[in-house]
């Protein structure tokens, strides 16, 4: 009986790994800190760049935290949770991804010290949660109002987002284009609240020319050309048809075989195909359409008939472009040729094919539907254009958020120092061990100005000491000028960011940190062996 009582019981499959208690917490914290450390050197205008090479050999050079973490092949589950912070920050605001990730790494490092002192993870989580709520409240209290009509302030916000992303030399040109693009698509909802749907701003890239050649187009640019050289290159008062079905003869859905025993049968078969195509073209022409954008293919014979009728047609249009065209022109995306009518057409003042850097693009302007604009970015090399694309995309999102919230805060680490100072005062009002967690939270916020100083080659201790002294004297806008190595008023230096960047970063970093801290048991299933070449599993 005694032997049976001591018999081991297996509840996990063979090969599974289980890590418990402090070992699990330490492993998770270590992995998350490693991810944060990998992007920390990219923070700020003086941050360094990363070169990312994928499995195909394609090279990306960037200091955008979201882009770096997206390209990194990360396996550790806790590390993936840190990557999710960057994705969420990028989706919600468009900028501040590195700030959020670095803050999460520092919060976990501070929590590690508290765990070593014997403080329970639940207590740390409660303290962090209270500190995060208070931090958001302090940031909102110190926010500065910005009017949607104040384009100069919006340009400064755009320039702050562009700075440090490889486009500083032309940040004024890009900021002007960005603000013009976003302000032109702004609308108000039923309650009078400003809504900036940045999906209505399309970015197209072209190598060749200089950054100063970048332009804003009032309409939609389609990176395609006419399918037939005999089609017109320009049509005014365009009547546009959007098709998600191919302009080809219908093939049988089931596999079929046709036996032809005589030449006249072959001729009849070809004539039947032509008749089917002619019927489709006649249905299209009956609507009065003179411009066709097709998401699928267009048969060679159909191209000939369309060209003969003086219709511009483009094929293989992306789904996102079809949706933009639909919004801009008011044309629905047609899924069948049956029942086609004039009601299925959209309108535009001009559809024109233009040559840009040796390749042709179709410009759809003078649209009567929802306001849609396109930014054509130009640059000397592919890497320059890609860097411009990332910088402008962030700037567009940031300006949109600033217009919606109409609240901004100062950058340069000034906001973090001010919040850290007030959080220490708040922590002293707490009782119990949560006070220690709140104090550590305040201390962790200072990692942002500290990193800015380190990345600029400055002494972080001296800079932090000077900033704390300035904020003690109620200079709430004083932050680090990384170019001069001095503590200056960031609002006067035009270093301003939307309020949502800070609140989102604090919220996302805190939530991810708490989730990682509450894990005390990691059970990893055994990895399956890859299948053998013959299809049988490998032993």
Return the residue matching tokens 């000077």: 466
- Enter the tokens of residue 506: 């604090």
Per DSSP, the residues of 294-351 read ESS-B-HHHHHHHHHTT-EEE-S--HHHHHHHHHHH---EE--STT--GGGEEEEEEE
Q: Give CA–CA dist 145/501, Å, rounded.
A: 15
Q: Give CA–CA dist 536/539, Å, rounded.
A: 9
* Beta bridge pairs of residue 291: 240, 312
Picking from 34, 68, 36, the residue whose alpha carbon sits closest to that of residue 54 is 68
Q: What is the DSSP letter of 247?
A: B
Q: What angle do CA 449, 69, 81 make, to 5 degrees?
A: 90
CB 533 within 8 A of CB 42: no
Per DSSP, the residues of 426-473 read HHTT--STHHHHHHHHHHHHTHHHHHHHHHTT--HHHHHHHHHHHHHT
Residues annotated as part of the active site = 64, 97-98, 394
Strands 373-379 and 201-207: parallel
Q: What is the dihedral of CA 432, 435, 440, 442, to 10 degrees?
A: 170
């Amino acid at each position: 009986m005694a032997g049976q009582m001591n018999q081991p019981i297996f509840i996990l499959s063979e090969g599974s790994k289980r890590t418990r208690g402090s070992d699990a917490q330490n492993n998770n914290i270590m992995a998350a800190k490693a991810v944060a450390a990998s992007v920390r050197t990219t923070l700020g205008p003086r941050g360094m760049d990363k070169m990312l090479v994928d499995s195909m050999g394609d090279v990306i050079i960037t200091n955008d935290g979201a882009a770096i973490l997206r390209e990194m092949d990360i396996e550790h589950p806790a590390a993936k949770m840190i990557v999710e912070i960057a994705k969420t920050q990028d989706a919600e605001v468009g900028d501040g991804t590195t700030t959020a990730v670095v803050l999460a790494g520092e919060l976990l490092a501070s929590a590690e010290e508290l765990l070593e002192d014997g403080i329970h993870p639940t207590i740390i989580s409660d303290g962090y949660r209270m500190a995060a709520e208070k931090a958001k409240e302090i940031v909102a209290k110190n926010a500065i109002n910005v009017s949607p009509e104040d384009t100069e302030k919006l340009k400064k916000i755009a320039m702050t987002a562009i700075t440090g992303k490889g486009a500083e030399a032309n940040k004024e040109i890009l900021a002007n284009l960005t603000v013009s693009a976003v302000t032109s698509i702004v609308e108000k909802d039923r309650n009078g609240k400003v809504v900036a749907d940045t999906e209505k701003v399309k970015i197209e890239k072209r190598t060749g020319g200089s950054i100063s050649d970048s332009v804003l187009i009032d309409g939609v640019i389609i990176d395609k050309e006419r399918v037939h050289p005999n089609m017109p290159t320009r049509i005014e008062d365009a009547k546009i048809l959007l098709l998600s079905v191919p302009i080809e003869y219908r093939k049988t859905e089931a596999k079929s075989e046709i036996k032809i025993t005589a030449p006249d049968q072959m001729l009849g078969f070809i004539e039947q195909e032509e008749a089917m195509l002619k019927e489709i073209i006649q249905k299209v022409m009956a609507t009065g359409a003179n411009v066709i954008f097709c998401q699928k293919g267009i048969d060679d014979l159909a191209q000939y008939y369309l060209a003969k009728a003086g219709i511009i047609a483009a094929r293989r249009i992306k789904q996102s472009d079809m949706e933009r065209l639909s919004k801009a022109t008011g044309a629905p995306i047609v899924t069948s040729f049956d029942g086609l009518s004039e009601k299925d057409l959209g309108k535009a003042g001009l559809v024109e094919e233009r040559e840009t850097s040796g390749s042709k693009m179709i410009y759809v302007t003078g649209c009567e539907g929802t306001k849609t604009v396109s930014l054509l970015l130009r640059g000397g090399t592919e890497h320059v254009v890609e860097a411009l694309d990332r910088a402008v995309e962030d700037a567009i999102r940031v300006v949109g958020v600033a217009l919606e919230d109409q609240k901004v805060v100062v950058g340069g680490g000034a906001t973090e120092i001010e919040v850290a100072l007030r959080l220490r005062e708040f922590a002293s009002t707490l009782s119990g061990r949560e006070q220690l967690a709140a104090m550590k939270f305040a201390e962790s916020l200072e990692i942002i100005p500290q990193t800015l100083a380190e990345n600029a080659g400055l002494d972080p201790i001296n800079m932090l000491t000077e900033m704390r002294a300035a904020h003690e004297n109620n200079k709430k806008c004083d932050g680090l000028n990384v170019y001069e190595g001095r503590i200056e008023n960031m609002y006067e230096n035009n270093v301003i960011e939307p309020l949502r960047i800070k609140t989102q970063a604090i919220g996302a970093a805190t939530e991810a940190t708490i989730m990682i801290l509450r894990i005390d048991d990691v059970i990893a299933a055994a990895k399956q062996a890859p299948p053998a070449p013959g299809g049988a599993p490998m032993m």
